[in-house]
Amino acid sequence: MSAIYDILADSELTSLRVARRGQRLELTMARSWDPDLDFARYGQDFHHDAPPNRQPLVLGDAQARRKLGPAMEALAQLEVALRAGGHEQLRLELHPKLDMRVTTYIHSSTLGRNNGLHGLRAGGLRRHERQTAELEVLQDGLNLSRAMTFKNAAAGIPFGGCKLTAQCDAFDPRSAEAVERLGFLAWVIDSGALITGPDMGFSPEMIDALQARFTRHILCGPGGRLGHTGAPTARGVFKALFAAAQHRWGPSGPLKGRRVLVQGLGSVGLPLAQMCAAEGARLLVADTSARALAAARDVLPEHEVIDSERVLDTECDVLSPCAYGALFDAERIARLSCQLIYGGANNQLVARSQAEELKLATLIAERGILTQPDWTYTSGGVLLGTEEYVNAAGPSLERVHARIDQVCGDGTRTLLERAEREAKTPTEVAYRQVEELLAGS
């Protein structure tokens, strides 16, 4: 199967846009900037809305579809996914020389329109390896951006939902050759009217480098005014996990002696594991990286290491996925032996749409397992980014913490009570709540 980005490359084009117009998806393919453009000069020789373009070329919908003929199958799958997710727009930008494929997924701009800011939608920037299948990357971005719409809405953030993926080799943000790459990423972020922050795959220091040199529309690097997103995200996840544990096991010391299995000891999983341990939980941990496990050995109290392959089959009280998502399908749900699923991973269910999520959530509930969409409580990072951006003159970590506790902790408490009262899954109630909010805006 031919890949869409390969066709852009073969045709010496830079960009593909897929925009939803009612039920129709409208394609535009273009050479919208010089394919040999030196993005190290972004912000100096050219700005976000007018990159140099000596030989512009624009293909409308019919022509673009013809051009994409060899990737027809991929395009058809992508269109199904876009419709299922209800996305507004998808933008692919290819830098042939740098071999960077940067995709912007715009799920919804509703809450960001007319907010008085440059950024209309917020979501993180994730890197994927070059060898990962194109559709897998695109589907990941589509799912993540859809969750961002709901995450932002539920957290009262004045932005719509988006995500960015960059498929490229890892690079050292401090090296000279990185400058052009950083410029390209910054241009995509700025031209998309996006607010972005850290996600998986890039080093946190890259955020600082991007911000220092090119754009203030990326936030939350470790050197930023409020620091990195890891700890605040972990705080929100912990508040939700704790509230759910109280809901299930009673108000006092609900985690005492409980086996909490944390999958992934990254910038969210590690502090989360520490917080659970401080509440008397028995820690089980897993990570595919021996280095992460070694680092955890020094900072975590007593814990048992579980083979990464066996995580989903391991008996525990709380399963806490804190790495990649797309973990639970019907077959895996049938095998689970835990009581709660609460973790920092985004999009834990294998689903492309809300309808698919609701079905899987029902299967989980039928197994007596308590869970809710991660977007209801993984908003610590984007809340931090919003504070850094919107209150640039005097950002306050205390304010962010109070907001996280409210959104993720209190929010979980009221969500679980309402779900119980209405005899519905928390997932269904969470979606209903945000839809009511979006409909009213």
Which residues carry out catalysis? 163
Q: Which of residues 299-338 bind ligand PHE (CB under 6 A)?
A: none
Q: Does 340 contact ligand PHE by CB under 6 A? A: no
Q: Which of residues 379-408 bind ligand PHE (CB under 6 A)?
A: 381-382, 385
51 or 161: whose CB is closer to ligand PHE? 161
Draw the binding track, 50-89, toward ligand PHE (x: CB under 6 A; -: no contact).
Answer: ----------------------------------------
CA-CA-CA-CA dihedral for 351, 352, 354, 360, to nearest 10: -10
Q: Does 194 contact ligand PHE by CB under 6 A? A: no
35 or 124: whose CB is closer to ligand PHE? 124
The CA distance from 438 to 441, in Å, is 5
Q: Does 229 contact ligand PHE by CB under 6 A? A: yes
Burial class of residue 232 in the structure, from the number of CB atoms within 10 Å of its CB (0-12 exposed, 13-18 middle, 19+ buried): buried
122 or 363: whose CB is closer to ligand PHE? 122
Whose structure tokens read 């048992």? 304
Find the part of the chain contacting ligand PHE (CB under 6 A) among 11-19, 62-70, 95-103, 196-204.
196-204
The CA distance from 179 to 174, in Å, is 8
Q: How far apart are CB 94 and ligand PHE at their closest, in Å?
A: 23
150 or 431: whose CB is closer to ligand PHE? 150
Burial class of residue 1 in the structure, from the number of CB atoms within 10 Å of its CB (0-12 exposed, 13-18 middle, 19+ buried): exposed
Instruction: Rule CB under 6 A: choose which of 219, 273, 296, 327 binds ligand PHE.
Output: 219
Q: What residues contact 50, with CB distance under 8 A and at least 6 apart? A: none
Whose structure tokens read 């805006």? 441
230 or 254: whose CB is closer to ligand PHE? 230
The CA distance from 386 to 58, in Å, is 36
> How many other C-beta atoms lie within 10 A of the C-beta of residue 17?
17
Find the part of the chain contacting ligand PHE (CB under 6 A) among 4-12, 96-104, 120-128, 310-318.
120-128
Q: Does 154 contact ligand PHE by CB under 6 A? A: no
**Which H or E run contains 306?**
none
Q: Does 196 contact ligand PHE by CB under 6 A? A: yes
Q: Does 220 contact ligand PHE by CB under 6 A? A: yes
Q: Does 155 contact ligand PHE by CB under 6 A? A: no
Q: Does 204 contact ligand PHE by CB under 6 A? A: no
Find the part of the chain contacting ligand PHE (CB under 6 A) among 189-197, 249-257, 259-267, 353-361.
189-197
Q: Does 370 contact ligand PHE by CB under 6 A? A: no
CB-CB contact of 380 with 234 (8 Å): yes
Instruction: Name which of 310, 228, 195, 298 is nearest 263 in CA terms.
Output: 310
Q: How far apart are CB 9 and ligand PHE at their closest, in Å?
A: 28
121 or 259: whose CB is closer to ligand PHE? 121
The CA distance from 123 to 371, in Å, is 23
The CA distance from 40 to 332, in Å, is 46
244 or 382: whose CB is closer to ligand PHE? 382
CB-CB contact of 162 with 87 (8 Å): no
**Which H or E run contains 282?**
strand 282-286
Q: Where are the beta strands (DSSP E) in 87-206?
A: 89-95, 100-108, 121-122, 125-128, 160-167, 194-195
Q: Does 161 contact ligand PHE by CB under 6 A? A: no
Q: Does 123 contact ligand PHE by CB under 6 A? A: yes
Q: Does 106 contact ligand PHE by CB under 6 A? A: no
Contacts with ligand PHE by CB under 6 A lie at 122-124, 151, 195-199, 219-220, 229, 346, 378, 381-382, 385
